[in-house]
Amino acid sequence: MRTLIFVTAALALVACGDGGLPADPLTGDVTGTFEGQPFTPTHGYAIAMEQPANGGVMVIRLGDAPIGCGTNFNQPPRPAVYGLIYPTKEQTGDRGSTWISLLGIGESGLQLRGSSGTLVITTLDEDVVAGTVDFDQKDDGQNTLEGSFEVRRCPGTTPLAL
């Protein structure tokens, strides 16, 4: 019985993101580079913002660390690289010029890089947001985010633009 409890607890920890809350896996082929170093987002979600920021009404967060609807970006997120996409409207189609940021958190602290990129939303319903993103901050390959993604759409709102 003690072994069963330990195994169950270990599996619960592995399956959780920040704060012990479940992480939301990302599907798709989105990849990126941050300061010239490659990264591959494995988790992500979309959530409406309480106050629109960066021209967006929701934020799509993609990360190479476990994140999910319960991730509290008021607390320092785990060391990782996060892609932050700010659609200007909650509707499918070519969103055109969209603000996209890359947030790198590591030993040297927090670094934020951003500018406009291209976003096409192919699916948008109460449970899912899917699309393609194409971002190259200075057309030099140092800070990029590109490919397709499908993430969970979280209920509620977030107070933060990050």
Taking only the tens place, the pLDDT of each residue in 130-142 is 999 999 998 787 9
Name 149's Cβ contacts closer than 8 Å, sequence gap at least 6: 26, 27, 28, 30, 41, 44, 60, 62, 130, 131, 132, 133
Pairing of strands 93-106, 109-124: antiparallel
- Position 96 scores a pLDDT of 83
Is pLDDT larger for residue 109 or for residue 29? Answer: 29
Where along the chain do its domains lie? 24-158
Confidence of residue 148 (pLDDT cuts 50, 70, 90): very high
pTM of the model: 0.82
- Greater pLDDT, 153 or 70: 153
Express each pLDDT in 58-106 by its tens digit.
999 999 999 999 887 767 668 899 999 999 888 899 988 899 999 999 8
Asked if the model's pLDDT at residue 36 lies above 50, the reply is: yes
